[in-house]
Structure 1
Amino acid sequence: MELLERERELADLDAALDAAATGAGEVVLVHGEAGIGKTSLVRAFRRRVAGRARLHLGACDDLLSPRTLGPLRDAAPRGGPLAAALAGTDRDAVYDAVLDLLAEPSVLVVEDVHWADDATLDVLRHVGRRVADLPALVVLTYRDDELGPDHPLRPVLGALPAVRRLAPSALSREAVARLAGGTTATSAGLYRLTGGNPFFVTEAVAAGAEAVPATVVDAVLARARALPVPAREALEQLAVVPSGVDLALARALLGDLSVLADAERAGMIEIHPRAVAFRHELARRAVDGALPVARRMGLHAAVLAALLTDDEPDLARVVHHAAGAGDDAALARHAPTAAKAAAAAGSHRQALALFREALRTVPTAEERAELQEHLAWTHFHSNDRPGATAAGAEAVRLREELGDPVRLGQALSTLALQLWAALAIDEALVSADRAVEALRGAADPEPLAYALNCRGVVLVNLDREAEGLADVEVAMELGVESLRPLALIYRGRARWQLGDPAGREDIDAAIALAERLGRSDDIMTGYLNLASLFSRYARYEELREVVARMRAYVDATEYTTHARVVESFESRLKAQEGRWAEADAELRWGLDGQEGGGMVGRHALPTLARLAVRRGSEEAVDLLATAWTNAEESRALPPQVEVAAAEAEQAWLTGNPDLAAHARALLPRTVGPGRERERGELARWLHRLGEPVEDFPGCPEEFAAGLRGDHLGAAAAWERIGAPYERACELVDSQDPAAMLDGLVILDELGARPAAALTRARLRERGVERVPRGPQQTTRANPAGLTGRQLEILQLVASGATNADIAARLVLSVRTVDHHVSAVLQKLGVASRRDAAAALAELESA
């Protein structure tokens, strides 16, 4: 069929390729509903690439669990560096090889990225952030109507610094008439049926019926039924294989490919130099969906048998077809290996699906116990606390039945960390103690070293540094090199929390060793602990540096737990700088009981609660309660201090000293080396409440000056740190009218309504006659109290823009826009985008 009404999109692709030829590469996103013509557009563009750049093609598959790095395996030149890197286990080597591949004029096309595995998404994010300096064009196609709010492609698209978006539209009535060979009048029924969707149009036209078929599926099946029996049977065999079938597999399944000639002439399939494929995925699904179950299982079995003749079969495909064939024996043999490989590559969603298949079919308790331990860590990295603890507990149960104390000790150690992450602290300590005791007499030192490390991690995170330090030092003495990085990390953190900042040297050494050993989890754990310590001890410039390194690392991985913690540090820095609305929107995930549950929530909830207090939000009371519950369950001092300080601040702002009860109770726990900042933080708010707290040895100057009454000195110290709200509060505390007015300006600019109101009252009490009124809380055009950014986003929502469109327009991540939209809907009291648009119309007419 002729390609119609795509001249503008082809011109845009040509322009992007011309720009790439000058070294200004970019990512082009081709998106739209199924059948809208994304593949046809890209196919037409590919013909224009010849002689201008090298072309690399890959596609993602709708498998039970997508192939790990599947589209890159498709695109990799055979025998080249990328193929070699993909055959190994070094993730960085894959990233480097892809960038090297694109270091010469190139076009990389990856189709159907809505089906991409996590590892592929990691690579695309990594490449997309660097392609601007390459002579290459990256073209990604996807179905935007399949991207739900939590689809893993969303944050990848949001992380790309600049993209060109092409959204092919439905065909006009005139184009439909042209394809149908009639007029707009005679083709009216066809247009109504298809809505101008090019695939639907071509299928209905090709069916050749005098009347338009009731559905497009009917049209596809009508065309298939018209084929000779051998061609139809061959078509059915290919239909059970998602996406394309490489020629070797097609020959193994069909023998002579000439049997496909009739199907090719009918336009149902296309034969390329490396693969046979249905012309459209919807056609494949239509044929596959019409197969009787027994017939479909037999066809899957044929594909499985053909795949297993390869010395190194693609295990994701093997598992998919074994499941389709109902071959549990094949699943038991291959699913565990496929699951572990996917987890090792960071494809955690795929690993979860594969582990489920493996656990359903493996025959022995020993195998199931091992898989449950792997599954626990996969759930952990996916930020699924309940899944992680359930898998860890099941592994322990199975190990107890098997009676092997060494393997039981290892399972208990893993479970201890999952329980700690879920804030089941008592259970975590019991599990950790049981593990160490079970392994003390083990001949192999590695299990005991692992158990001691795990208990040390829990203890140091509970601020029981001396006990944790003893464990990790014994673990190091056992001489297990692979476990040394984790021990060094927590030895360094324990030392620093006990008052010795030189503990940082241990963490730096741990990260360097982990890099040499290729232990990516330990690298990220090292960075996260550095960030926690820099935040705890107000070393903000170093915190910004390590957060930037962490961001680069998580952008190249799909470790949701790590990513959430990184986001929390970024947002906390924004909150300190006064970028409150942005920080609030980015931390809203902390209120999701699943996503923000457990230990991850302690990084988001205290900041959310403090922002609510400072902005005078109606949510403040509830957020403080939620944050305190999480912090108390964590049994960690930093989040408890942060929430207690926010409660004391609320007491100061509202004149209700009872709200500072937690701050008073915590103050004695902050006495001692390594706790000076926590003590200073609580002391300054209790001091503002008129309580008898004083400066103390080692108190940081920004706190000490205020406690001594030198509020202008404290304000200067906070200005050096870059904390405008804290500076403004000290200016207000100075009781100097000029300084207080300066502080009021800052508070108004920040939107700190409660502190600004308190300041105005104080100024009037001091006889200042001309106190600035300040900004009104709402305006006639905005009685809902939306921020400027929220009003802007509401207007875009009302215009019909998707969150991805808004993100591109405002240069924000899609995740940030998701949070902004949720906040807007909440403030408006509506549940849908349509209702939000109606609410905007009411606001504008009020």
Structure 2
Amino acid sequence: MDLLEREAVLQDLAGHLQAAVTGPGGFALVRGEAGIGKSTVVHRLARSADPRVRVLVGACDLLATPRPLGPLMDFAPRLGRPVRTALTGALAGTCRSDEVFDHLLADLSGCPSLLVVEDIHWADEATMDLLRYLARRLPGVPALVVATYRDDEIGRTPHLTALLGTLARYPWVYRHDLAPLSRRAVARLAAGHTVDAEQLYRVSGGNPFLVAEILAAPTETIPATVREAVAGRLVGLSAPTRTVVDVLAVLGHRVSLPLLTGILPGAEKGLEEAVTCGIVRTEGQITEFRHELTRLAVLEAVPAARRLHVHRQVLAAMRSGATAADDLALLADHAEAARDPAAVLEYAPAAAARAAALGAHREAAAQYARALRYADGLPPDRRASLLEGHSRACLLSSQLDDGVASRRTAVRLRHGLGDRLREGEDLRWLSNWLWPAGQAVEARRIGRDAVRVLEGLPPSRELACAYLNLCQLACYGHAPVPVAASYAEKAIALGERFGDAGTVVQARFHAAAARVLGEGDDWEECERAVSDAIAQELPVDAAQSAVVMSWFTALRRDVARNSEAVSRAEAYCLDRELPTYLLCTHAWAGWGLLNQGSWPEAAGAAQKVLCHPGSPPVARAVALAVLALVRARRGRGQVWPLLEQAAGLVDSDCLLDTGLEWEARVEAAWLAGDHERVQAEARRGLAALEERDHPWLSGPLACWIRRAGGTPPPVPAAEPYALELAGDVAGAAERWDGLGCPYDAALARLSGGDAPALHQALAAFEVLGARPAVARTRALMRARGVRPVRRGPRAATRANPYGLTNRELDVLKLLNEGLSDAEIAARLYITPKTAGHHVGAVLNKLGVHTRHEAARKLHHSERR
């Protein structure tokens, strides 16, 4: 497992070691809960130590009778003969322990050393004395002593408490705490695994051991290793304490002391032992397990009859007094576990509504689902309300299939009740979420049905939302700009009339976005709309607009704007816990990285989407297309299976809407030399686009027809495509350079065919590692008598020690030659502006501020 969020501690320890080996020595304490990574950190320190430093590692063990001086015995073979002889005598009773300590101190004085003692919370008294002895005298020896211990075990080990009190006097003793991993770190570890990163963080609490075990056994509710580890910690508890722990496991995640003592009188003493052993912790009047996974492992071992009895006791006790809003979720949990359907239907919907109001959409979906399990006997209108709440919560928590299914059922119920207003609203919701589900055709049909139903009623806020939905679908489907504008005007008029700020701001945004895609220049209005949604605290509206900005900047190949839009959308969706929108943003991020030539990073962003079990089909389709293009452009196999999988996830309209998948099919055929398929796929795409007005969709397809030797029909084409179609390949390439798209610029130059353009295209393809394009360019150069043909770069030239892209590595080497941005641009056949972007990216990735520092990094890498 990667060493995440431990770099600062490791760097500090390395600094202590460097200072200690030249004198004076020091003592470092590394503490944290079980599984937090103490051993990983100190072992990494030991492996990275200078070869001239002697590394001594020993450990204390959890034994009924601890080994006297156990850690010293572990590393004794690496010590001098006097220490070994004294230690043997001490263990045999023929030598005093203080003589052993004196010999060890003398031994350390003669050789720079790192002495690691792990798990001192289990140490025997003699080891504690040894550490106390060394700590006082370390300033006189070239050694660093590093000791690890569990801070959740201190209460059980008075000897450790006494040692820590002694060490507190010495200024050369350093203390380092290891905290649980953050959400972001857990998500990074989960990348490449088919697990829900948020759920992983919740049950593990960020504990690295638990994270690793769950990832190693993702299909197990509780990994066997975790179950065994928990059982090992419970085995030494007294019977009363084990009862307290079992009851706490049944009661739930956070338990108030009055509730615990009400169920289990006299629980305080057992609770104290449970806290001391580190299984649970208390904060004021609240007790909770340190990790949810630990609670689940304990709960699994509690007999079913005992669980049922406790749940019924808790439910009765909690219902006897006033119900606080914070208790609703707990009441719903106990109601279901107590097998009380009426109580479930009383508390679960209320808990779901509260969770939704707080933005906890995953919890809201779970509570609505709980209520629906007992809702068969409810009146249709009440059941429909539960389904509507469940649908919205599911859709916002990346449970798309469940959300769509609940909304379909709600539509049928509302129709049967003759509730036309709610039926129209449910149709609008269904239409809105069918598009990310990849069902664009049905989304548009149902969207029109929603408007038809609501237009037969008096004007309403619901009709404003239905008009907005058609505006959004027109924008996403690249309908002519006046169509989206017409729906936007109607939505804004009704939204203002009924005070619906979210509808107004989204209508403004999507009308502007439609103009942007139609080769207009209304970015400022899009930005204002997103800023207004954020300022007015409209999280769903702001997130949706921010994500659309990520998509449309990628579609327009605007690298600079895409990077900014993606960063904003990812941060916003993470903060508001909106995984559906976040996963879509990851997909557009992959496309943007593909455009700028950062192909490994593009594949990484795509994998984030594909590894998440809740990724919407439209995001998965885009991610698959990104991966397919990375493979195709690098000359690797298994391209078409990925493209066919993408096509199978969404309908043909949605395949065109997103803008990448159809073009990816055409490019993959071209790279494989199948010009007949290029023509067929491109013409099919253009035929489907006849009713649409989007130059960024039709333009590339027309260019691919031209590149494959055909004559494309006249179609709307964005500027760089229009220039190439008109024969101005130099102008097209310059425009692509300005957008920051080196691969597209090279393709344009390749289609020009003159010698300088071909040389520039070849250089760019080689830097990118685009092997099929390199081969095509060389073949064309040979056919046209263009000489000389450059050789491809050596493997050593392509090596990448700092996580740079191939283009950035090339820029770094030119920085080493002292070239300016303009000179770099000339060498790489790019614009100075693009060169400046690459220089900034190189400095950022290397963590330096000047070109001189970047060059020094390159020299250091080459020496290694």
What band does the TM-score fall into relative to the shorter chain? 0.5 to 0.7
Aligned match of 1:41: 151
Residue 769 of structure 2, aligned match among 715, 737, 751:
751
Aligned match of 2:505: 485
Aligned match of 2:252: 242
Q: Which runs of 5+ in 1 are unaligned?
A: 1-7, 19-25, 51-105, 114-120, 129-139, 171-192, 207-219, 782-786, 789-810, 813-846
**Do residues 765 (structure 1) and 775 (structure 2) align?**
no
Q: Secondary structure at the match of 1:421?
A: coil
**Do residues 376 (structure 1) and 391 (structure 2) align?**
yes
Q: Distance in 1 between matches of 2:281 and 2:350?
A: 33
For residues 744-787 of structure 1, the C-alpha deviation after alignment (integer angstroms, 9 at most, x for no partner) is 232122221111111222222234565344268999x9xxxxx9
Distance 1:728 1:29, change over 3 A: farther
Aligned match of 1:821: none
**Could you tell me which amino acid in structure 1 is paired with residue 761 of structure 2?**
G
**Do residues 681 (structure 1) and 725 (structure 2) align?**
no
Aligned match of 2:486: 470
**Do residues 332 (structure 1) and 345 (structure 2) align?**
yes
**Do residues 657 (structure 1) and 702 (structure 2) align?**
no
Residues 558 and 740 in structure 2, CA contact (< 8 A), matched pair in contact too: no
Distance 1:549 1:14, change over 3 A: same
**Could you tell me which amino acid in structure 1 is paired with residue 768 of structure 2?**
L
Q: Secondary structure at the match of 1:528?
A: helix
Distance 1:335 1:720, change over 3 A: same
Aligned match of 2:95: none
Residues 436 and 616 in structure 2, CA contact (< 8 A), matched pair in contact too: no
Residue 151 of structure 1, aligned match among 172, 196, 203:
196
Q: Distance in 2 between matches of 1:146 and 1:614?
A: 24
Q: Secondary structure at the match of 2:435?
A: helix
Aligned match of 1:433: 448
Q: Distance in 2 between matches of 1:266 and 1:745?
A: 66
256-265 or 557-566, larger mean C-alpha shift: 256-265
Displacement of 1:521 in angstroms is: 0.5
Distance 1:770 1:28, change over 3 A: farther
Residue 318 of structure 2, aligned match among 282, 292, 307:
307
Displacement of 1:519 in angstroms is: 1.3
Distance 1:254 1:715, change over 3 A: same
**Could you tell me which amino acid in structure 2 is paired with residue 318 of structure 1?**
L
Residues 348 and 378 in structure 1, CA contact (< 8 A), matched pair in contact too: yes
Displacement of 1:692 in angstroms is: 3.0
**Do residues 316 (structure 1) and 361 (structure 2) align?**
no
Aligned match of 1:521: 540
**Do residues 608 (structure 1) and 627 (structure 2) align?**
yes
Aligned match of 2:416: 401
Residues 609 and 623 in structure 2, CA contact (< 8 A), matched pair in contact too: yes
Q: Secondary structure at the match of 1:245?
A: strand
Q: Distance in 1 between matches of 2:563 and 2:32?
A: 31
RMSD: 5.1
Q: Distance in 2 between matches of 1:628 and 1:531?
A: 22
Q: Distance in 2 between matches of 1:584 and 1:348?
A: 29
1:25-424 equivalences under 5 Å are 31=35, 40-42=150-152, 44=154, 149-153=194-198, 203-204=234-235, 206=236, 223-224=238-239, 237-243=247-253, 245-255=255-265, 260=270, 273-275=284-286, 288-289=299-300, 291-308=302-319, 309-312=321-324, 313-362=326-375, 363-424=378-439
**Could you tell me which amino acid in structure 1 is paired with residue 252 of structure 2?**
P
Aligned match of 1:580: 599
For residues 711-767 of structure 1, the C-alpha deviation after alignment (integer angstroms, 9 at most, x for no partner) is 344333322222222232334344444543343232122221111111222222234
Residues 575 and 583 in structure 1, CA contact (< 8 A), matched pair in contact too: yes
Displacement of 1:562 in angstroms is: 0.9
Aligned match of 1:87: none
Residues 372 and 395 in structure 1, CA contact (< 8 A), matched pair in contact too: yes
Q: Distance in 2 between matches of 1:361 and 1:276?
A: 31
Residue 454 of structure 1, aligned match among 469, 489, 492:
469
Q: Distance in 1 between matches of 2:154 and 2:623?
A: 47
**Could you tell me which amino acid in structure 2 is paired with residue 241 of structure 1?**
L
Displacement of 1:395 in angstroms is: 0.9
745-754 or 759-768, larger mean C-alpha shift: 759-768
Q: Distance in 2 between matches of 1:12 and 1:322?
A: 48
718-727 or 671-680, larger mean C-alpha shift: 671-680
Structure exhibiting the larger radius of gyration computed from Cα positions: 2
634-643 or 403-412, larger mean C-alpha shift: 634-643
Q: Distance in 1 between matches of 2:719 and 2:773?
A: 23
Residues 557 and 592 in structure 2, CA contact (< 8 A), matched pair in contact too: no
Q: Distance in 2 between matches of 1:27 and 1:518?
A: 41
Q: Distance in 1 between matches of 2:394 and 2:343?
A: 25
Q: Distance in 2 between matches of 1:636 and 1:279?
A: 47
**Could you tell me which amino acid in structure 2 is paired with residue 151 of structure 1?**
D
Q: Which runs of 5+ in 2 are unaligned?
A: 1-5, 17-29, 38-61, 63-118, 122-147, 166-174, 214-223, 800-804, 807-844, 847-864
1:621-640 equivalences under 5 Å are 621-628=640-647, 633-635=652-654, 637-639=656-658
**Could you tell me which amino acid in structure 2 is paired with residue 442 of structure 1?**
L
Per the normalisation by structure 1, the TM-score is 0.64
How many residues align structurally? 639
Q: Secondary structure at the match of 2:196?
A: coil
Distance 1:448 1:637, change over 3 A: same
Displacement of 1:167 in angstroms is: 9.8
**Could you tell me which amino acid in structure 1 is paired with residue 579 of structure 2?**
T
Q: Distance in 2 between matches of 1:604 and 1:169?
A: 26
Residues 648 and 686 in structure 1, CA contact (< 8 A), matched pair in contact too: no
For residues 43-73 of structure 1, the C-alpha deviation after alignment (integer angstroms, 9 at most, x for no partner) is 64999999xxxxxxxxxxxxxxxxxxxxxxx
Percent of aligned pairs with the same amino acid: 27
Distance 1:409 1:614, change over 3 A: same
Aligned match of 1:72: none
Aligned match of 1:719: 737
Aligned match of 2:96: none
**Could you tell me which amino acid in structure 1 is paired with residue 513 of structure 2?**
R
Q: Secondary structure at the match of 2:490?
A: helix
Aligned match of 1:76: none
Greater RCO (CA < 8 Å, at least 6 residues apart): 1
Q: Secondary structure at the match of 2:195?
A: coil
